[in-house]
């Protein structure tokens, strides 16, 4: 079992220069959310009191969305009907940055549309209604699709076929696309739906889930070894370089013709909704392999993307920032993700926390040499709120307050040490002698200082209390002082 190491920043920069041609079955996903509290008097069925609805680009369109949100450019080819759902999809795609869409219109069929009714309280799907015609495209529509696809292949770094068996990816469309891509040296990823994998012959990578793999190979596929054993014959049949079997919470197993099996365990995550997780995996694999990344790096990226996607409700796309937070170690994330320098970044984070109903706390200081007394105050402050912001005096501010020989560590070093603490959610550096402007901007619910202050001495107490917040004083830990530590250190070095 191998867990590959991934240089995320270098990969993300390369992804931004790549283009993915995505072809497949697009659909309109609608989620109707409401409360279920009674049974209908007309029939033994629950009644959902609809409160809100959301519209998403679904199916292969969700793959395209994820490709773009991960930083690559996407050219998307799909099929819609001459109806309102098709117009809404075309308009939604046109609004998505990074997506160039080519939609073939078939007036003889409806645009695929799925409406899910979801209990808000229990976060469970109560019912799904589908409008679709899951039949292969007609000969004329096939020809139009092929004519649209072939000129686009040269513009792409990789081709991704997202098959939902709704009619776009017929055997003829697949054959023309794979043959043209191979002639131009472009890799082809297929997220297959058909159990006859011979129609995907010549693809670079097939990405079935465990159930699809088991049915296609007539194997149990319940262990990594059983997947390896069942893959050999089917890889010869499909003439592909590798097969990736996704297994939900059990991770992903890749078997290649020219190498050992690679297994990537799933990231531990609280699952909210698995809708579209396979789309996210396919998109992440495509953008990674488009850069020339090896199998291990591509799988690691895809596994992290899936973990982000299933933690969201509904058909969701994954951003580069979300992926970075999932992949990188927390200690490395501290400086990049917890330290805010721009007021706009602070405001955005505050808005997100308030939307989530988080109780925001604030404390401040110079924190020149972090000691156990500081840690006690910070830990106590975090226990009094949901999210803790630490205001940190800038170097110039510390010099004015403490003298020309301070700080011992510059503001960036002090901020990184603070940010590495689990109790600290955000570090904001301020230039003034006091954090009053920062407190006024943040409007925290809880203002925390050490017990060597009185309530009246705490800067910003009037602002916080006027807004309904509270001031909390934490007993200081005796025997620890930054000034004493600095004097002792300097005395010892002389």
Q: Which residues are catalytic?
A: 279
Residue 144 in tokens: 């139009």
CA–CA gap between residue 280 and residue 198 (Å, rounded): 25
Sign of the Cα torsion 213, 216, 222, 224 reads negative
Residues 481 and 452 sit within 8 Å (Cβ to Cβ): no
Instruction: Give the rounded distance of the alpha carbon of 295 from its chain centre.
Output: 20
Measured in Å, how far apart are the chain's first and last C-alpha atoms? Answer: 54
Lookup result for tokens 């850069």: 291
Q: Taking the alpha carbons of 123, 125, 129, 134 in that order, is the dihedral positive or negative?
A: positive
Which of the 8 DSSP states describes residue 336? I
| Ramachandran angles phi, psi of 367, nearest 5° | 45, 50
Geometric angle at alpha carbon 133, from 131 and 135, rounded to 5°: 160
Residues 6+ positions from 286 with CB-CB distance below 8 Å: 20, 22, 67, 72, 158, 160, 189
CB-based contacts of 460-463 (< 8 A; 24+ apart in sequence): 460/362, 460/434, 460/435, 460/436, 463/436, 463/439
Q: Burial of 370 by CB count in 10 Å (0-12 exposed, 13-18 middle, 19+ buried)?
A: middle
- Residue 195 has, within 13 A of its CA and on its CB side, a CA count of 10
CA atoms within 13 A on the CB side of 264: 25
**Three-state DSSP class for residue 286:** helix
Range 104-140 burial, b when 16+ CB lie within 10 A, else e: bbbeebbbbbbbbbbbbeeeeebeeeeebeeebbeee
Q: What are the DSSP E strand ranges found in 60-187? A: 73-80, 99-105, 113-119, 124-131, 158-162
CB 253 within 8 A of CB 302: no
Sheet holding 446-450, edge to edge: 339-340, 426-430, 387-393, 360-365, 446-450, 470-474
């Amino acid at each position: 079992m191998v867990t590959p190491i991934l240089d995320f920043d270098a990969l993300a920069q390369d992804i931004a220069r790549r283009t993915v041609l995505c072809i497949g079955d697009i659909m309109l996903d609608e989620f109707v959310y409401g409360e279920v509290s009674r049974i209908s008097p007309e029939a033994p069925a629950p009644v959902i009191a609809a409160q809100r609805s959301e519209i998403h680009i679904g199916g292969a369109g969700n793959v395209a969305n994820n490709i773009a949100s991960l930083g690559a450019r996407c050219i998307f080819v799909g099929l819609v009907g001459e109806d309102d759902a098709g117009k809404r999809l075309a308009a939604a795609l046109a609004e998505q940055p990074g997506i160039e869409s080519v939609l073939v219109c078939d007036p003889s069929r409806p645009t695929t549309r799925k409406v899910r009714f979801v209990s808000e309280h229990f976060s469970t799907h109560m019912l799904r209604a589908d409008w679709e015609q899951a039949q292969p495209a007609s000969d004329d529509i096939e020809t139009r699709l092929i004519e649209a696809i072939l000129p686009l292949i040269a513009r792409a770094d990789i081709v991704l076929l997202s098959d939902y068996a709704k009619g776009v990816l017929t055997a003829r469309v697949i054959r023309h696309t794979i043959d043209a891509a191979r002639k131009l040296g472009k890799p082809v990823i297929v997220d297959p739906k058909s159990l006859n994998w011979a129609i995907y012959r010549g693809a670079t990578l097939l990405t079935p889930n465990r159930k699809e793999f088991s049915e296609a190979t007539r194997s149990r596929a319940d262990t990594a070894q059983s997947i390896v054993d069942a893959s050999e014959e089917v890889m010869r049949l499909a003439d592909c370089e590798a097969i990736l079997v996704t297994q939900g919470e059990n991770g992903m197993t890749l078997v290649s013709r020219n190498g050992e099996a690679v297994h990537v365990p799933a990231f531990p995550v609280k699952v909210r909704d698995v809708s579209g997780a396979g789309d996210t995996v396919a998109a992440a694999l495509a953008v990674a392999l488009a850069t020339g990344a090896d199998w291990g790096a591509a799988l690691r990226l895809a596994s992290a993307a899936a973990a982000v996607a299933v933690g969201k409700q509904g058909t969701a796309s994954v951003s580069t920032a979300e992926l970075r937070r999932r992949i990188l170690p927390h200690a490395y994330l501290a400086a990049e993700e917890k330290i805010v320098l721009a007021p706009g970044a602070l405001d955005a984070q505050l808005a997100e926390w308030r939307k989530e109903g988080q109780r925001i706390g604030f404390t401040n200081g110079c924190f020149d040499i972090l000691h156990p007394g500081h840690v006690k105050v910070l830990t106590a402050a975090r226990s009094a709120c949901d999210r803790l912001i630490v205001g940190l005096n800038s170097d110039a501010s510390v010099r004015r307050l403490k003298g020309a020989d301070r700080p011992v560590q510059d503001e960036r070093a002090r901020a990184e040490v603070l940010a590495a603490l689990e109790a600290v959610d955000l570090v904001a550096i301020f230039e003034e002698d006091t954090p009053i402007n920062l407190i006024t901007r943040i409007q925290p619910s809880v203002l925390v200082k050490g017990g060597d202050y009185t309530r009246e001495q705490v800067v910003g107490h009037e602002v916080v209390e006027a807004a309904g917040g509270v001031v909390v004083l934490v007993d200081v830990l005796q025997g620890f002082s930054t000034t004493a530590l600095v004097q002792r250190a300097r005395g010892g070095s002389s």
